[in-house]
Amino acid sequence: MTTLALLGTGLLGAAIGHRLLEVGISLKVWNRDPDRCRSLVGSGAQQCSSPADTLLGVDTVITVLRDGPVTADVVQSLGLLQGRTVIPMGTMGISESVSLAQQVSAQGGRYLEAPVLGSRPQAQMGTLLVMAGGDPELFELQRPLLKHLGSDPLRMGDVGTGAAAKLALNQLIASLTHGYSLALRLVQASGLEVERFMEVLRPSALYAPTVDKKLERMLTEHYGDPNFSTSLLRKDLNLFLREADLAGVDASGLEGLARLLQRAEGTELDAGDYSALHALTTISSDTSE
């Protein structure tokens, strides 16, 4: 039985771990908060007390951590990698991924970035969209593993291209959610029934399935039990803005959205589903509850 190391067992990491266990892969798991490994241990994973302890008997290390700096610190704590492959699946900046690839090489390992689009349901079903960046030979070696998580993993190009694709997509999530929230607010203020508006939107070229997925949350203001939180959306949008600046892209039009999301910090909206952005698009909104 193949054994992998999984570092980071938050919402997405735990779902990825359960999927890998279901397809017969043995896991060694670590998380900064040990309690977050509990469900995976109950399903057969072996919990380790430190990242370095996960390396014995494994050739591949998957990380699903909050951001680039955290990932770099945890990977550094692994010590010498002795030819093992490190596959980060969390969102990080292009420059951060390139730097991490250099770090992994210096530690004697191989590197294949593989950020994913999707959340817990897609991870559990093996339908994530996998966007890899790195050596084509290494990608082919790891393709059977990646196919357990997404049926058609794609190599985007060299290291950094996978990170670029993921950041671009997460920016679209933020922009689409914001645009839809503004449209919904104006529709409601005019007295137009939301469902009548949706009857026009759904058959149009402007429609995206996520609109209906988030509609009920926005109308009922139920943002609990998130698959992807407001705080993570804000983090990724700010990361996109930083990388856009490094790439010479004028993304100043997104700065207002970044400031809007900043208003959620320190409130319960921050830990809620990212559709809580809708609670911010009204002048009378109160985010202190």
Q: Which amino acid is at 27?
A: L
Tens digits of residue pLDDT in 107-151: 999 999 999 999 999 999 999 999 999 999 999 999 999 999 999
Handedness of CA 116, 138, 161, 156 (dihedral sign): negative
Q: Residue 186 and residue 182: Cα distance in Å, rounded?
A: 6
Phi, psi of 75 (to 5 degrees): -65, -40
Crossing angle of helices 230-246 and 94-106, in 10° steps, is 90
Q: What is the pLDDT of residue 285?
A: 47
pLDDT score of 288 more than 60: no
Identify the burial level of 283 via C-beta atoms within 10 angstroms of its C-beta, where 0-12 means exposed, 13-18 middle and 19 or more buried: exposed
The residues, any chain, with a CB within 8 Å of residue 32's CB and separated by 6 or more, are none
Percent of the chain with pLDDT over 90: 96
pTM above 0.75, yes or no: yes
Tens digits of residue pLDDT in 57-100: 999 999 999 999 999 999 999 999 999 999 999 999 999 999 99
Tens digits of residue pLDDT in 10-55: 999 999 999 999 999 999 999 999 999 999 999 999 999 999 999 9
- Average pLDDT for 155-179: 97
pLDDT score of 238 more than 60: yes
CA 63 to the chain's CA centroid: 12
Distance (Å) of CA 146 to CA 59, 96, 122: 15, 22, 13
Task: Determine the 3-state secondary structure of 29 from DSSP.
Answer: strand
Tokens of 60: 């591949």
Give the closest residue to 273 by CA, choosing from 177, 168, 150.
177
Note whether 3-158 and 163-280 share their fold: no
Distance (Å) of CA 275 to CA 94, 175, 214, 233, 264: 26, 11, 6, 10, 12
Q: Residue 10 and residue 247: Cα distance in Å, rounded?
A: 31
| Mean pLDDT score of the chain | 95
Q: Give the CATH fold of the 163-280 domain.
A: N-(1-d-carboxylethyl)-l-norvaline Dehydrogenase; domain 2 (1.10.1040)
Q: Residue 77 and residue 170: Cα distance in Å, rounded?
A: 29
Residue 21 near residue 45, CB atoms below 8 Å: yes
Q: What one-character-per-residue DSSP string does 115-135 give?
A: -EE--HHHHHHT--EEEEEE-
Alpha helix ranges (H) inside 88-229? 94-106, 120-125, 136-147, 161-190, 194-201, 209-220
Tens digits of residue pLDDT in 180-209: 999 999 999 999 999 999 999 999 999 999
pLDDT score of 287 more than 70: no
Q: What is the pLDDT of residue 283?
A: 74
- The structural domains of the chain, with segments of one domain joined by +, span 3-158, 163-280
Tens digits of residue pLDDT in 174-185: 999 999 999 999
Q: What is the pLDDT of residue 175?
A: 97
What architecture is domain 3-158? 3-Layer(aba) Sandwich (3.40)
Residues forming beta bridges with residue 112, ordered by sequence position: 134
Q: What is the pLDDT of residue 77?
A: 97
Q: What one-character-per-residue DSSP string does 202-223 give?
A: TTSTT--HHHHHHHHHHHHT--
Residue 88 near residue 109, CB atoms below 8 Å: no
